[in-house]
Structure 1
């Protein structure tokens, strides 16, 4: 029997919801491209309920305990005296979400002598030291695609919020004003603007497909060029590098994983090469952007706006400058944890655990590292130079 340590964000300050705004959520039977949705043998939750907080428990607690496993669920993850730190040394499995990540550093992995499996309920595994996991032979998995569309929708929303300057307009209305000139002095149409997508994986492609009907001019850069027919369908222009891409766009959306190559990439030098008055929406990882460079660019007018829902660290401290910098439309890391998205990544997490306990192979698209090397999605997204066999596996 295993000890499973689950780190989730706290319940609402008003308590776990007794009722919800909607009675049901739409049933999604397949992802774009025919990829199958999570398919556990059973679930112990009602889709549309709050599953990502402690009381929701990803719908796993009753099932795991009925199978004889020990389950610890907590939101307390910071510091030497935290529940996470105290329970980690003898944990066999650690589960957390990108929105409230349990940071598994090399030091923590060294202390976790029993650790065999790390699961991200959602997408993005950079809160785990993947090199340390590889050295220990720990399997790292995530529920790929479970909330990709959730993030893509949030991205499109934030693009429109920035370009139309929605935050200021809503604030004027909420405060009882009717200052139309003030409300529209920074408001533009998205139509006709040049939109660049940095990393055209599942989320990036979903953003392309949702922005195309707005009549924008689309371009992108990625380590792997998209098929010609896809480029032609969306009238996409490919750029070899992010440096080339940003010189010719009005809006940049960021969907790359956090690696040593992308950390701090949006710095003073790169931002200076963008057209004055450009916008950036970053729902990927906060550390891809140089925190203070973003603030300087907004204050100088080089950037007209910055939005996203990812910060460094997470949760962000109360005095983080992105909370108060001008012309921002930041949200706390919520894009991928809509109630709809939670139902899918909770089901996917259970599927991973069912396969793990049965000794069955995990889906390649869920795998980040396994057996000491990058596998599946990890080979595509995190490995520096994916091998031919890794690419074949990722495309299966």
Structure 2
């Protein structure tokens, strides 16, 4: 008797518990190796799947969707962001798109604070000294960083993650400012103890640390461009755990090299894993390989959301994390 279960194709390795549950519920094809699919492999996947489970590194654009088979009805993205998917084209072709929002808030906010501390306290430089065996003992002037307490933190994007960063920063004694597409309700501002700036230019010119926590959309592409980066204090630090495309990476590199900006902590990059080589060489920059959401708990919760979205869709109901173009 033929298998009537949904044919689900997963593009990357997921936590074992997630893969096991997918295998129980669906006719699933799992990734054998943890490497990104080629475009040809991705096209083959959409041709034979009822449901595609891609990750943020899989570019499901109009060209890929044009090759999709008639049975593809759901793209259940393993990730909160969906800028890797042409959602509008998918909808036009009758293909639903879901994501996994909300589960990575605390993990990403923790990493934001980790980067703030790493840059301002020069932690990687100290680590390098120890690993090289160059430490000759304590010195009163060695590797002097800066105290975060009392500094002004500017948060660009005050959604769930931005608010979680604000709460953590307040615990460190920081003065929190923010810019957002929409101002928060007064009671939320009071609870968080934050100050709203309608003008991003005015905010970035006044803060000591700027945290990027907004999504990548057409309106936020290079929001931190050369002109806006030049407004920052020469003693300021910029941290990005959101999307690399929000910052003009070449402009940032030039300013970090010249000392126009004091430092940066980056977990995401404008061109994915292809990072400006000049950026790698700078001692005042902390670079991480997109680790913001890399916790066991977070990855499993993402997988659980993917499964719930597929199962709900299979049962004939609206998936709880359905993405529509108006949301973007």
- Asked if Structure 1 and Structure 2 have the same fold, meaning a TM-score greater than 0.5 normalized by the shorter chain, the answer is yes
Task: Compute the displacement of 1:65 (Å).
Answer: 4.1
Q: Does 1:177 align with 2:181?
A: no
What is the CA distance between 1:202 and its match in structure 2? 0.4
Q: Deviations over 1:103-124 (max 9, x none)?
A: 1111111112343212222311
Match of 1:388?
A: none
Following superposition, the deviation at residue 76 of structure 1 comes to 4.2
- Is 1:286 matched with 2:244? yes
Residue 256 (structure 1) aligned to one of 196, 214, 233: 214
Query: How much is the aligned-residue C-alpha RMSD, in angstroms?
Result: 2.1
Q: Does 1:6 align with 2:21?
A: no
| Structure 1: segments with no counterpart, 5+ residues | 10-50, 383-396
Counterpart of 2:160 in structure 1 is 202
Q: Distance in 2 between matches of 1:80 and 1:95?
A: 15
Q: How does 1:1-396 map to 2 (within 5 A)?
A: 1-8=5-12, 51-52=14-15, 56=16, 59-60=18-19, 62-67=20-25, 69-73=27-31, 75-81=34-40, 83-98=41-56, 101-114=57-70, 115-178=72-135, 180=139, 183-185=142-144, 187-314=145-272, 316-317=273-274, 320-363=277-320, 366-369=321-324, 373-374=325-326, 379=327, 382=328
Q: Would the alpha carbon gap of residues 192 and 102 (structure 1) be closer, same or farther in structure 2, given more than 3 Å must change?
A: same
The answer to whether the 8 A contact 1:172-1:183 is kept is: no
Aligned residues: 320
SS of corresponding position for 1:346:
helix
The change in CA–CA distance for 1:235 and 1:358 in structure 2 (over 3 A counts) is same
Question: Structure 1-normalised TM-score?
Answer: 0.75
Whole-angstrom distance in 2 between the partners of 1:262 and 1:129:
17
- 1:318 Cα offset (Å): 6.8
* CA apart distance, 1:194: 0.6
Shift of residue 146 of structure 1?
Answer: 0.9
Runs of 4+ in 1 over 6 A off after TM superposition: none
Shift of 1:160: 0.8
SS of 1:113's equivalent in the other structure is coil
Q: Secondary structure of 1:237's match? A: strand
Determine if contact 2:248/2:270 at 8 Å carries over to the other structure: no
Cα distance in 2 for partners of 1:89, 1:110 equals: 10
**Relative to structure 1, is the Cα distance of residues 131 and 324 closer, same or farther in structure 2, using a 3 angstrom cutoff?**
farther
TM-score by length of 2: 0.90
CA distance in 2 between partners of 1:337 and 1:285 (Å):
15
Measured in 1, the distance between the counterparts of 2:323 and 2:290 equals 22
Aligned to 1:184, what secondary structure does the other structure show? coil
- How far apart are 1:319 and its partner, in Å? 6.2
Residues 252-275 of structure 1, C-alpha deviation per residue, up to 9 Å, x if partnerless?
111111111111222211100111
CA contact (8 A) 2:250 2:276 kept: no
CA–CA separation in structure 2 for the residues paired with 1:223 and 1:89: 38
- Relative distance call for 1:181 and 1:109 in structure 2 (3 A) is farther
Distance 1:346 1:66 in 2: 14
Query: Following the alignment from structure 1 to structure 2, what is the Cα–Cα distance between the partners of residues 325 and 107?
Result: 38
